[in-house]
Amino acid sequence: MKIPKHIAIIMDGNGRWAKDRGLPRFEGHREGMERVREVIRQAQRLGVKAITLFAFSTENWDRPRSEIKFLFSSLEKFIDKYLKELQENDIKLQMIGRRDRIDKKVIKRIEEAERSTKENKSFLINVALDYGGRWDIVEGAKKLLANCRSGVISEDDIDEASFSKSLALADIPDPDLLIRTSGEQRISNFLLWNLAYAELYFPEVFWPEFNGSELKKAINAYGQRQRRFGGV
């Protein structure tokens, strides 16, 4: 079976999953967190090397305060609960996204987890938090501009390769596969640059239903695709 090395996931449909069951939205987020662990374990087992999870977008600040609070406190709990397991499985955790708008306490917890897992090599989890693809590209442009101005690089050094390196995922190879659950078929400002040649997969299930066997289905579907990258 052809295995994607890097999978990007838009974990969508927590709210609708809860609504269908007559539950408050946060119950969907709670159940969704359980799938995160399951999907990571399955991905690592199948030989995937990296996973990038869209957990909170630059637009998700438009949600009710209480929901936002719940999402960030779930993330803190996730780190508390699974940091040991990440270490045992040699998994590196890092965050991509803006760090200036998230509660400092949450950022501190994330940075501790980043520090303590940074030497792990078997698997990489990128958590996209307060992340937007457009923000990422603008930040990259600013970095290049600053490097130009300070003379570290010249204008001629700006090309696709150096631009890529200035983005949040920098040296990590682009995702081979993008999965978005819940039946929605849009990118919602996720990795705009890096998804240029990703295979897209849109299962109908809501994120709280996306378990290890759903991931296997997605990888099987990926295995059937013919990637051409513009060639023949």
Catalytic residue among 12, 130, 136, 176: 12
Terminal CA-to-CA distance of the chain, rounded, Å?
A: 22
Nearer to ligand IPE, 158 or 187 (CB): 187
Site for ligand IPE, residues 156 to 195, rule: CB under 6 A: 182, 184, 186, 188
136 contributes a contact to Mg ion by CB under 5 A: no
- Does 58 bind ligand IPE (CB under 6 A)? Our answer is no
Minimum Å gap between C-beta 85 and ligand IPE is 22
C-beta closer to ligand IPE: residue 52 or 117: 52
H/E/C letters for each residue in the chain?
A: CCCCCEEEEECCCHHHHHHHCCCCHHHHHHHHHHHHHHHHHHHHHHCCCEEEEEEEECCHHHCCHHHHHHHHHHHHHHHHHHHHHHHHCCEEEEEECCCCCCCHHHHHHHHHHHHHHCCCCCEEEEEEEEECHHHHHHHHHHHHHHHHHCCCCCHHHCCHHHHHHCCCCCCCCCCCEEEECCCCCCCCCCCCCCCCCCEEECCCCCHHHCCHHHHHHHHHHHHHCCCCCCCC
Choose the one of Mg ion, ligand IPE, none that binds residue 16, judging by a C-beta under 5 to 8 angstroms depending on kind. Answer: ligand IPE
Is 16 a binder of ligand IPE (CB under 6 A)? yes
Structural contact between residues 133 and 189, judged by C-beta atoms closer than 8 angstroms: yes
Binding mask 5-44 for Mg ion (x = CB under 5 A): -------x--------------------------------
Q: Tokens 């997605």 sit at which residue?
A: 218
**Catalytic-residue membership of 126:** no
133 lies in the site for ligand IPE, by CB under 6 A: no
Applying the rule CB under 6 A, the residues between 68 and 107 that interact with ligand IPE are 71
Determine which one of 14, 20, 60, 62 is catalytic.
60
Instruction: Establish if 222 lies at the interface with ligand IPE (CB under 6 A).
Output: no
- Residues identified as active-site: 12, 60
Under the rule (CB under 5 A), what is the footprint of Mg ion? 12
Under the rule (CB under 6 A), what is the footprint of ligand IPE? 10-16, 54-57, 60, 71, 182, 184, 186, 188, 207
